Amino acid sequence: MAFSCTFPDIEAQVQSDRVQMTLSVKQGDDDAETIYDEQLYADGDGKICLTDVDRLLQPYATKWLTFTLSCVIKEIYSSSVAGDQDSFECQIISCKANIVNLTAEQFCSQRFLTLIDGPKHTAPWFKEYLSYIGDDDCKCMAYYDTGDNEEYDMAKLAEGDYSMVDVSPRKFYDEGRRLLRYVITAGERKQEFIVNHDYPSEIAPILLFWNSFGVQEIAYCTGEHQMVSSFERKQARIGRLKQSYSVEDAVTFKADTGVLTFPMANWWREVFRSKDIEVLPVQDREVKVAEGMPVVIKTEKVEMSNAPDELPRFTFEYEYADRNHNVFDTRRDGRIFDNTFDYTFN
């Protein structure tokens, strides 16, 4: 097992002066697809080497979370002598992060498919997901302000190449007790969530993104949210009148993550790395995951330091991916541009 972004160069010591190297990939029970088939010539020491295999795998790691890489190396002689053949297979895990302290096997058996390295802060109405490779049962231990705790069995949303679980706090709500924190476990994997009851009841934006492993996570901004709208007009005189024959509305949103812990700040960088991001609507304090709109991040300010009196917070600008920025959403209940406008002048 290996991560796609850190797959090493393929080297081999051969007896012939050239070899035929063939690489193929296969996902599940699908037919294998050849991605490389070339003759390589050995150097003076009888060694062949194929470099940058990770770049060769990248398009397939984008498409599949896990797949099998097969390599066949066959020696070629100018005479009719049959050359030796060698081969190997390796399970590839899609990953864009250079994880230096754990092997792929260790990471997949000990960690969820997320780069957060510490407790994740959430709120009672937030939607949260965790994903992992394997079929281990997933459980939750919830801790309440009454001093007691309760264990829950978690149902999986998806199974196959990986398991996905909805671990939203509202699943562990209990009348008469306030949920303080909860810990999700699956085999050796463990992730703690701390429930912050001081977050505003509505915040924006809420961003669904695909992380470095190609699975979904959700990020919540608790700071100020602004909208800047600009209009580009194309005008000409038509007859005696000057008229606007084209008016384009370009909307840019400015967002603030709010104050973050250092584990949360490191994890938030995943949002800015992501190529696929959607802004999610909220209706009746329910995050509508299936109804997101694609957005693109234009600029961001991501700075952290070890100053003892400083906590990280990031700001960024984003806009709708669709060229039509004249978006009207009736779920906003009369609010101007997002679900926090009622709090602007409080």
Nearest to 115 by CA among 222, 207, 209: 209
Q: Are residues 16 and 151 in the same domain?
A: no
Q: Within this chain, do residues 17 and 148 fall inside the same structural domain, yes or no?
A: no
For 258, residues 6+ apart whose C-beta sits below 8 A from its C-beta are 221, 222, 223, 313
> Among 74, 104, 134, which residue terminates a domain?
104
How far CA 58 is from CA of 61, 205, 302, in Å, comes to 5, 30, 26
User: Is 158 found in the same domain as 100?
Assistant: no
234 and 337 assigned to the same domain: yes
Among 104, 133, 156, give the residue marking a domain's end. Answer: 104
Are both 207 and 192 inside the same structural domain? no
Which structural domain range is residue 29 located in?
2-104
Q: Which of 80, 77, 86, 171 is nearest to 124 (CA)?
A: 171
Q: Are residues 154 and 66 in the same domain?
A: no
Residues 202-250 have pLDDT tens digits of: 788 999 999 999 999 999 999 999 999 999 899 999 889 999 988 889 9
Instruction: Please indicate, yes or no, whether residues 303 and 346 belong to a single structural domain of this protein.
Output: yes
Mean pLDDT calculated for residue range 113-130 = 95
Structural domain count of the chain:
3
Which range is least confidently modeled, 20-29, 34-43, 297-306, 330-339? 330-339
- For residue 339, the one-letter residue type is N
- How buried is residue 317: exposed, middle or buried, by Cβ count under 10 Å (0-12/13-18/19+)? middle
For residue 340, is pLDDT > 60? no
**pLDDT higher than threshold 80 for residue 52:** yes
| Residue range 137-156, pLDDT digits in tens | 999 999 999 999 999 999 99
C-alpha to C-alpha distance for 224 and 254, rounded to whole angstroms: 8
Same domain? 346 vs 281: yes
How does strand 216-220 pair with strand 206-210?
Answer: antiparallel
CATH of the domain at 237: 2.30.110
Claim to verify: residue 205 and residue 346 sit in the same structural domain: yes
pTM over 0.85: yes
Query: Residue 110 in 3-state DSSP?
Result: helix
Contact between 297 and 254 (Cβ < 8 Å) = no
| pLDDT confidence bin for 284, thresholds 50/70/90 | confident
Together in a domain, 248 and 307: yes
**Helix, strand, coil proportions of the chain in percent (round to 5)?**
15, 45, 40
Q: What is the pLDDT of residue 345?
A: 46
Mean pLDDT of the chain: 90
Beta carbons of 43 and 13 less than 8 angstroms apart: no
pLDDT of 309 reads: 84
pLDDT digits (tens, 9 = 90+) for 68-107: 999 999 998 876 777 788 999 999 999 999 998 899 999 9
- In eight-state DSSP terms, residue 281 is P
Residue 86: partners with Cβ closer than 8 Å, 6 or more residues away:
12, 72, 73
Instruction: Name the DSSP class of 177.
Output: B
Burial 22-59 (b: 16+ CB within 10 A, else e): ebbbbbeeeeeeebeeeebebeeeeebebeebbebbbe
Quick one: 37 and 79 in the same domain? yes
28 pLDDT more than 90:
no
Statement: residue 201 has pLDDT above 90:
no
pLDDT band at residue 117 under the 50/70/90 scheme: very high
Domain check: are 345 and 223 in the same one?
A: yes
Within 10 Å of residue 249's Cβ, how many Cβ atoms?
A: 12
Please say if the pLDDT value at position 344 is more than 80: no
CATH at 122: 2.60.40
Q: What is the DSSP string of 234-272?
A: EEEEETTEEEEEEEEEEEEEEEE--S--HHHHHHHHHHH
Residue ending a domain, among 199, 215, 237, is 199
